[in-house]
Each structure stands twice: as structure tokens, then as C-alpha cells.
Amino acid sequence: MADLVRSYRPEVPIRFAHTEGEAGGITEVLAGLVPEGAPNEEERPPGYCDAVIVPLVTGTHTAITATIAQALPASGAVARITDGLGPHPMLAEALHLRLAEGGFARADRMRLISVVAASDTTADGVMVGSVGGPEAIDEAGVSAVLLAARLGVTVLPAALDDPAHVAQIFDQLAAAGSRRPVIAPSVIGAEFPQERIAELAAEHGASYSASLGASSTLAKIVALRYAEALNALGIDQQPALEELPAPVGSRHRPEH
């Protein structure tokens, strides 16, 4: 993901850090971003910032946000923490792409997705699965509405880490007439293991698409979150989507 974000903001030093484990921990990475001779708190000018932290989660994730906030004092860095990557229309686009890749949805012709689902595997109901707490589920609800508009089927959000809620949502999909439900995990990867998603799907006779993973679509949202943070600090003007450059070396055709 860091490499993909660099393609949108090549002028900005990009680092990635882990919120768990010892190697490449966020405290260590943040400390390395503090310049030598950095001003102390009293000498910092308005808007001073050593780093902008973009959490690689699709919505509000209470535990990860708390870990990042706790790491800041120990690092000595001054940083702005942005929102997660959702809700955002491009997140619904990324979910659609994963469903199309799995053969569960029609291709998005506007975005040049070439996979076309076979009729006997097309989802007639989708669960957008999220983790992180009640706010994350509300935000997944926004993605669910946007995805439903793309697919023309019932799409509902669910907390993947709450088995009772998952069962409730599958019941709602069945009541709406769904016989081929699919879980569309609105997670990038490590927040909720793919094998657990497979287990939930098997328990409820459903299929599932791949987690979002690293993609140029999500990297574009990261670049926008960065721009929003600078704009809030009065350092930069937030670009519109069409103003973001195509990734360096991109072969994509311009979008009109």
C-alpha cells in the first residue's frame, strides 16, 4: 500500500508502521520522522506537524486508533491522525471490484472491470462485513447503500466479529428473498482473518469475496486523507478527485 500511495504523492516521504508486534512498530517509525533539531512544544509554529497518520482501516476502529494515540507521546512526534478510508464512494467501488473478481457481481463497465459474473453465481444479497465497533458498522452501512445502488440487490452491513449480528443479517437477507448471499468483507486484511470469513460463510451457506487488500483505489483514498489533513492545518489545498495524478507509470486510460 505504501508503494501505491507513493505513486499518487511522489514528493512525500511515505512510511508504513505496524500497530502490533515489535518490528516496524509505530512508535519506532514515528520517532524516525522527527527531524534533528526539531522545535520543542513552545517553539512550534501554528500547523507544525512531523507526520500525517492514515490508519489502514475502512472505518472507525477503536482499538487501532487508541494504539496510535498511545504511541505518539513515546515517539516525540507531532502528528495528525486522519479518519479511516471509509465511508467513501471509492470504497464501494473497491468492494464491487472484489465481488466481480470472485464472479459474484456484474462488471463495472465504467471502471473497465473485465470480469463478468456467471448467472448461477451472481449474488442476490450481499453482507458488507466490518469490524471495529458500532461506528464502523454505521460507516459500513454507507458503503452498503452505495454498493446496493451499483448492484441492484439487497446489501446490508454486519459486524464480522459478532456472530449473533452476522446471523441476524443473514436472516434479513433470506427474508428479502436472497438465496445466494455473499459476504463482501470491508476489511483490508489483518483486521479480520480471511479464514474466519470463510468459516462464517460456511456456517450460513454463503459465498465470500476476498478482503480488499492493497489496491490503487484504496491508495487514492489514502492520498486524499493526507490532503484533507494538510488542508485542515492550512498547509495545502485539498485536491478534487479528478485533480489527483494518475499513478506513476500507469497505463490506465484517462477517465472522462
**CA angle, 110 as apex, 106 and 113 as ends, to 5°?**
50
Band of residue 90 on the pLDDT scale cut at 50, 70, 90:
very high
Q: Are 26 and 67 in contact (CB under 8 A)?
A: yes
pLDDT in tens, 133-184: 899 999 999 999 999 999 999 999 999 999 999 999 999 999 999 999 999 9
Write the secondary structure of 134-191 as one string of H (helix), E (strand) and C (coil). HHHHHHHHHHHHHHHHHHCCEEEEEECCCHHHHHHHHHHHHHCCCCCEEEEECCCCCC
Q: Give me the CATH code for the 89-208 domain, please.
A: 3.40.1010
Here the cell at position 26 is 509505530
Query: pTM, whole model, 2 decimals?
Result: 0.84
Q: Where are the domains of the chain?
A: 2-85+215-243, 89-208
201 vs 24, which has greater pLDDT?
Answer: 201
| pLDDT surpassing 90 at residue 119 | no
Question: pLDDT, tens digit, for every residue of 22-74?
Answer: 667 899 999 888 888 777 766 778 778 889 999 999 998 888 989 999 988 88
* pLDDT value of residue 235: 74
Cβ proximity of 220 and 247 under 8 Å: no
In degrees, rounded to 5, the angle at the alpha carbon of residue 55 between the alpha carbons of residues 211 and 8 is 85
What pLDDT is recorded for position 237?
Answer: 53
